[in-house]
C-alpha cells in the first residue's frame, strides 16, 4: 500500500556527504571505455545531454560511435515493442557488431541494457542473449532501476513509484498489470526470481543495500562487488542521485581491478556512469529550429491513464486542433486507409494555418482482436501513426511524440532518422532530440515524451514551452 514519501525518506540514513561526480569523471576518462547503451525504447536518453542516439547498429555505425571521443552512445533497439525472440536476436546482432567495431577502433566498451524504470521489458531474455553473444565476460549483472526524475526509488530492496506525496510499491501500480510485461513482486530480489523462473531463488540474488551505500560509501560497494560469486545477479538500492554516485564510484573501482559488469538499468544510471554533469532545463530559445510559420504536431500513441489525463489537460489549450484516430477502425483493413487520409488532410490544413495539432488514438484499450495479440495491436496502431506522419505535406515547427514505441517508430520509419543529437530536457525526464541531416526534416526539434512521465499538465506545459508561452517548471 502507498506510504507517505517525505516521512519515509526522513527515516533513512543521511546521504554520503561527498560529491563524487568529479572523481567518477576522472575514472571514466582514465579508462577511456565507451558506454554503449542498448535502449529498448527511445525514452532512455531522458537524463543526458549532448550525446548521440543511433537508430541502426551496423558495424559501420558502431565503429563511428566508438570513434567519437565522448563517453556515451545510445543504440535505439525499440526491442520492447517486439516479441522476446526478436528482442534477443537484436541484442545478439548488436553484440556481434559491437565486438567487430571495438576491434577495428581499438577501444573497449561497457554495456548498459536500458529499460523501463517501472520494470517492464524483456528481462532476463535480453541480458542473457547479450551476454551469450559477447562470450559471457561479465562477473555479475547489476539491476539498477532508480530513476530520480520520475520518482522511482529502491529502498530495502522494494522498488517504489512516487505518486503525488506517496510511494507505492511497483507491483501495486498500473505498470505491473501490463498485458505483456506484468509482474507480481515489488521486492526486486523476488522480482528477479519471478522473471528467471525456477532457475534462481530470491536468496540467490545479491543486494547493495542503502546501509552499504550511505554508511559504507564507495569502498564498501567495491568490496561487496569484488566478493560476489561469478555470474551473480545483484540489485542496487538507491533513493537519490548521490546514492547512485556512490554505487558508480564503487563499481568503477572494481572495474579498474579487472571486473566487468553488465548493467540492466533505468535512465538515471547512464548519466552518472557516463560522468555527465546535469544541466539546467532547456528554454524555448534553445529549442527553436529556425523561424517557423507552421504549427507544431503532437502524436500520442501511449494509452496508460497518465497519458489520458495529460491529453485532457492539453486539449484545454487555445489554438490546438484535435484529431482523434479511433482504434477499432484503424485496426480494420477495410477502414484503415480512409482514417489515415482523413487525419492527414486535417493536420495539413491546421499546420498551414499556423495552428498546432494534437493527434491521439481513442482512449479505448484494445488488448487483442480475433487476428492480433496484444503486441501486434500496439504495432499496428504505431504503423498507422507512422503512416500519418509520413503522409504529411507540411513540415511542422516541432514534433512531440508521446509513448516509447510511438516515438521510436516515428523517428525511424516516419522521419528516417539514423542519428540524432540529444539536446537535453525541457521538462525533467523528457528528452529532446535534434534530427540529423539524413532525416526527412533535418534539424527538427523532436520531443520524445515517455508515457509514464510528468504531471497531468506536463504535456500542455511542453506545448507551451515550444510555443514560447510557458513559465517553465518541472512537469
Do 160 and 216 lie in one domain? The reply is yes
Q: How many other CB atoms are found less than 10 A from the CB of residue 315?
A: 13
Is 121:115 a contact under the CB 8 Å cutoff? yes
Final residue of a structural domain among 248, 273, 298: 273
| Closest among 80, 82, 112, 78 to 95, alpha carbons compared | 112
Do 42 and 177 lie in one domain? The reply is yes
The enclosing domain of 115 has a CATH number of 3.40.50.10840
Do 241 and 293 lie in one domain? The reply is no
Is there a domain that residue 313 lies in? yes
Q: How many CA atoms lie within 13 A of 40 on its CB side?
A: 28
Do 176 and 45 lie in one domain? The reply is yes
The pLDDT tens digits for 77-108 are 999 989 999 999 999 999 999 999 999 999 99
Whole-number percent of the chain with pLDDT over 70: 95
The pLDDT tens digits for 185-195 are 999 999 999 99
Q: How many other CB atoms are found less than 10 A from the CB of residue 329?
A: 14
As for how many domains the chain has, the answer is: 2
User: In this predicted structure, what is the pLDDT of residue 474?
Assistant: 45
Residue 265 has pLDDT above 60, yes or no: yes
Do 80 and 204 lie in one domain? The reply is yes
User: In this predicted structure, what is the pLDDT of residue 213?
Assistant: 98
User: In this predicted structure, what is the pLDDT of residue 372?
Assistant: 63
Do 263 and 310 lie in one domain? The reply is no
Structure confidence at residue 332 as a pLDDT band (50, 70, 90)? confident
The pLDDT tens digits for 51-69 are 999 999 999 999 999 999 9
Do 34 and 158 lie in one domain? The reply is yes
Structure confidence at residue 367 as a pLDDT band (50, 70, 90)? low
Tell me the whole-structure pTM to 2 decimals. Answer: 0.91
Is there a domain that residue 308 lies in? yes
Do 323 and 226 lie in one domain? The reply is no
Is there a domain that residue 475 lies in? no
Do 237 and 122 lie in one domain? The reply is yes
Do 267 and 301 lie in one domain? The reply is no
The enclosing domain of 426 has a CATH number of 3.40.980.20
**Taking residues 123-142, what's their average pLDDT?**
97
| Range of the structural domain that residue 343 is part of | 284-467
Is there a domain that residue 474 lies in? no
Do 156 and 239 lie in one domain? The reply is yes
Structure confidence at residue 261 as a pLDDT band (50, 70, 90)? very high
User: In this predicted structure, what is the pLDDT of residue 374?
Assistant: 67
Phi, psi of 45 (to 5 degrees): -90, 25
Residue 327 has pLDDT above 90, yes or no: no
| Closest among 30, 51, 67, 75 to 277, alpha carbons compared | 51
Do 350 and 369 lie in one domain? The reply is yes
Is there a domain that residue 87 lies in? yes
**Taking residues 293-301, what's their average pLDDT?**
92
Is there a domain that residue 268 lies in? yes
Residue 293 has pLDDT above 90, yes or no: no
Is there a domain that residue 24 lies in? yes
The pLDDT tens digits for 148-186 are 999 999 999 999 999 889 999 999 999 999 989 999 999
The full DSSP string for 159-192 is EEEEETTEEEEGGGSGGGG-TTT--S-SBHHHHH
Is 257:107 a contact under the CB 8 Å cutoff? no
User: In this predicted structure, what is the pLDDT of residue 81?
Assistant: 85
**Taking residues 33-42, what's their average pLDDT?**
95
Is there a domain that residue 472 lies in? no
Final residue of a structural domain among 273, 303, 331: 273
Lowest mean pLDDT across 199-208, 258-267, 353-362:
353-362
Final residue of a structural domain among 273, 296, 325: 273
CA 127 to chain centre: 16
Q: What integer best gives the mean pLDDT of the chain? A: 93
The rounded distance, in Å, linking the Cα atoms of 262 and 359 is: 39
Amino acid at each position: 500500500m502507498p506510504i507517505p514519501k517525505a516521512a519515509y525518506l526522513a527515516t533513512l540514513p543521511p546521504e554520503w556527504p561527498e560529491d563524487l561526480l568529479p572523481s567518477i569523471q576522472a575514472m571514466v576518462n582514465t579508462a577511456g571505455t565507451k558506454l554503449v547503451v542498448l535502449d529498448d525504447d527511445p525514452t532512455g536518453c531522458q537524463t543526458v545531454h549532448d550525446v548521440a542516439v543511433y537508430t541502426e547498429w551496423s558495424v559501420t555505425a558502431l565503429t563511428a560511435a566508438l570513434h567519437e571521443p565522448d563517453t556515451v552512445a545510445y543504440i535505439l533497439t525499440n526491442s520492447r515493442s517486439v516479441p522476446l525472440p526478436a528482442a534477443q536476436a537484436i541484442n545478439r546482432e548488436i553484440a556481434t557488431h559491437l565486438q567487430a567495431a571495438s576491434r577495428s577502433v581499438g577501444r573497449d566498451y561497457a554495456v548498459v541494457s536500458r529499460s523501463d524504470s517501472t520494470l517492464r521489458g524483456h528481462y532476463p531474455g535480453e541480458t542473457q542473449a547479450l551476454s551469450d553473444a559477447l562470450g559471457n565476460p561479465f562477473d555479475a549483472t547489476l539491476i539498477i532501476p532508480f530513476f530520480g526524475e520520475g520518482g522511482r526509488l529502491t529502498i530495502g530492496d522494494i522498488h517504489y513509484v512516487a505518486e503525488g506525496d506517496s510511494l507505492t510499491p511497483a507491483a501495486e501500480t498500473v505498470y505491473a498489470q501490463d498485458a505483456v510485461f506484468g509482474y507480481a513482486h515489488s521486492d526486486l530480489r523476488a522480482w528477479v526470481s519471478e522473471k528467471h523462473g525456477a532457475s534462481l531463488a530470491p536468496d540467490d540474488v545479491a543486494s547493495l543495500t542503502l546501509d552499504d551505500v550511505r554508511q559504507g560509501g564507495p569502498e564498501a560497494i567495491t568490496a561487496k562487488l569484488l566478493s560476489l560469486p561469478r555470474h551473480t545477479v545483484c540489485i542496487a538500492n538507491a533513493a537519490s542521485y548521490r546514492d547512485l554516485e556512490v554505487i558508480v564510484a564503487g563499481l568503477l573501482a572494481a572495474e579498474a581491478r579487472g571486473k566487468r559488469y553488465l548493467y540492466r538499468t533505468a535512465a538515471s544510471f547512464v548519466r552518472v556512469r557516463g560522468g555527465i554533469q546535469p544541466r539546467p532545463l532547456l528554454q524555448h530559445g534553445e529549442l527553436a529550429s529556425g523561424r517557423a510559420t507552421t504549427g507544431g504536431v503532437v502524436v500520442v500513441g501511449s494509452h496508460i491513464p497518465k497519458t489520458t489525463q495529460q491529453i485532457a489537460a492539453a486539449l484545454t489549450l487555445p489554438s490546438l486542433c484535435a484529431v482523434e484516430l479511433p482504434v477499432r477502425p484503424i485496426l480494420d483493413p477495410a477502414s484503415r486507409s480512409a482514417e489515415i487520409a482523413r487525419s492527414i488532410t486535417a493536420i495539413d490544413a491546421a499546420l498551414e494555418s499556423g495552428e498546432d495539432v494534437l493527434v491521439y488514438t481513442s482512449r479505448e484499450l484494445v488488448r487483442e482482436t480475433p487476428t492480433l495479440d496484444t503486441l501486434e495491436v500496439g504495432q499496428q496502431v504505431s504503423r498507422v501513426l507512422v503512416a500519418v506522419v509520413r503522409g504529411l505535406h507540411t513540415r511542422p515547427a516541432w514534433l512531440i511524440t508521446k509513448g516509447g514505441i510511438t516515438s521510436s517508430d516515428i523517428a525511424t520509419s516516419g522521419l528516417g532518422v539514423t542519428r540524432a543529437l540529444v539536446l537535453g530536457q525541457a521538462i525533467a525526464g523528457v528528452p529532446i532530440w535534434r534530427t540529423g541531416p539524413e532525416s526527412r526534416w533535418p534539424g527538427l526539434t523532436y520531443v520524445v515524451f515517455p508515457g509514464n512521465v510528468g504531471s497531468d499538465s506536463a504535456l500542455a506545459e511542453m506545448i507551451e514551452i515550444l510555443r514560447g508561452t510557458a513559465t517553465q517548471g518541472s512537469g
